Amino acid sequence: MRDFRYAAPTSLADATSILLGGGEVRILAGGTDLLPRMRDGSVVADTVLDVKRVPGMLDIVRVDGGLRLGAAVPFHRIRDDPRIVRAYPALTDAARIVGGWQIQARASAGGNLCNASPAADTTPALIVERASCRIVGPEGERLVPAAGFCTAPGRTVLESGELLTSLELPAPEERAGSRYVRFIPRNEMDIAVAGAAAWVRLDEDGKTVADARVALAAVAPTAVEAPDAAVSLIGGPATEAAFAAAGEIAREAARPITDMRGPADYRRHLAGVLVKRTLAGAADRAAGGSREPILFGNRDR
């Protein structure tokens, strides 16, 4: 790759001015996507802007009962943070399975969002956790829901000079739980063929679904919600049959492509299977089940 300017500003203002300073500027957080793409020539940069020294980028702080997650906080800190494990387990699930430990040591949820790969594992998790993306730019600050951040493969809502600084996770709700599962041919070090996140809140009886959300990975140009699948559950019993039916509905939200990682039909089928499984996991957690991530993706159900 050709050489470039490396900048590691220590203030947001400096970062913004570098972003606006001209030339092709690429943002470096974990670098796990950027560097391979620069090496294979698919991305060219005049300036690489390392945002990890910008204040707040690596912080996890409590805000109003919720959590503010710096955009560059690496997955290994997300997966090990008891506050996240307890309150946002779908995010922990996703953080634990991106690449291997070495990748998790660098890659971040913010980077996952900005990279805007349809197969990003944490994006569906952020969507069902109702995370907001805090964006800072020359015009000031704005909040965008995680579900609306990616617009197409490799494209986001970020405008010129804007930077994703943090993810705002709302206060967790009572009797709620979440889960992310994905399907890969290996058990680690792979890209999702399909993925599904779910969030479920149960009624006080602990058996009826009070509210639900479902989001899918790798079956559409961006991570997408499957609201019909979620709505189908509300007011009904939290049973395997209901989750399976929701999975069938979720398939309709899938618009997968065929590529080297899997045929479209198979991906659509997987979407249904994974939604069923992820709903069961989320409901179990809502009912007080373990929030510890399950190590083997393989037998997860």
Partner 1 sequence: MTDSPSDAATDYAPSRVIADPDLRYEVIGTRPVRHDGVDKVVGRAVYGNDVRLPGLLHGAVLRSPHAHARIVSIDASAAEALPGVKAVATSADLPDLTDCWTNLGEVAINLAHLGANCLARRKALYRGHAVAAVAATSAHVAREALSAIRVEYEVLPAVTDVLEAMEDDAPLLHDDVFTDSMGSSSEHPSNVSRHLVFEQGDPERAFAECDLVIDRDFRTASVHQGYIELPVATAQWSADGRLTVWASTQGSFTTRQQIAGVLRIPISDVRVIPCEIGGGFGGKITLYLEPVAAILSRKTGRPVKIQMTRAGVFQGTGPTPGSVVRVGLGVKDGRLHAGRAWLAYDAGAFPGGMIGAGCACVFSCYDIPNARVVGYDVCANKPKTQAYRAPGATQAAFATETVIDELAAALGVDPIDFRLDNAAVEGTTRVDGTVYPRIGFVETLRAARRHEHYTAPLDGPSAGRGVAAGFWFNIGLKSSANVHCNPDGTVMLVIGSTDIGGSRTSIAMQLAETLGISAESVHPQVTDTDSVGYTDVTGGSRVTFATGLAAHEAGLDLIAQMRDRAAFIWGCETHDVTFDAGVFGGPDGRSLTFAGLAAELPGSGGLLTARATVDAVGPTNGFGVHIADVDVDRETGKVSVTRYTTVQDAGKAIHPSYVEGQMQGGAVQGIGWALNEEYVFDERGHMENPTMLDYRMPTALDVPMIDTVIVEVPNPMHPFGVRGVGETPIVPPPAAIANAVHAATGLRLRVLPMSPPRVHEALVQAGADEDAGGR
Partner 2 sequence: MKIHVRATVNGEPAEFLCEARESLLEVVRETLGLTGAKEGCNNGNCGACTVLLDGVPVDACLVLGAEAEGADVTTVEGIAEAGRLHPIQQSLLEHAGLQCAICTPGIVVTAKALLDRNPDPTEREIRFELAGNICRCTGYDKIVRSVQDAARKLAAERIEETSA
For 27, the enclosing helix (H) or strand (E) is: strand 25-28
Residue 190 touching partner 1 (CB under 8 A): yes
Choice from 171, 189, 234, 241 touching partner 2 (CB under 8 A): 189
Residue 140 touching partner 1 (CB under 8 A): no
Whether 123 contacts 113, CB under 8 Å: yes
4 binds, among partner 1, partner 2, none (CB under 5 to 8 A by kind): partner 2
Taking the C-alpha atoms of residue 132 and residue 146, their distance in angstroms, rounded to an integer, is: 5
Taking the C-alpha atoms of residue 263 and residue 243, their distance in angstroms, rounded to an integer, is: 24
| Burial of residue 6, with CB atoms counted within 10 A of its CB: 0-12 exposed, 13-18 middle, 19 or more buried | exposed
Taking the C-alpha atoms of residue 234 and residue 226, their distance in angstroms, rounded to an integer, is: 13
The stretch near partner 1 (CB under 8 A) out of 152-160, 205-213, 234-242, 293-301 is: 293-301
The stretch near partner 2 (CB under 8 A) out of 103-111, 162-170, 177-185, 220-228 is: 103-111
Count helices and strands (H / E) in the chain.
11, 14
Choice from 58, 197, 270, 282 touching partner 1 (CB under 8 A): 270
> What Rg do the C-alpha atoms of the chain give, in angstroms?
19
- List the interface residues with partner 1, window 82-111 (CB under 8 A): 100
Nearer to partner 2, 100 or 235 (CB): 100
Nearer to partner 1, 3 or 174 (CB): 3
Nearer to partner 1, 75 or 183 (CB): 183
Taking the C-alpha atoms of residue 25 and residue 44, their distance in angstroms, rounded to an integer, is: 9
Q: Which residues bind partner 2 (CB under 8 A)?
A: 1-6, 8, 28, 30-32, 35-36, 38-39, 48, 50, 52, 76, 99-103, 105-106, 187-189, 295-296
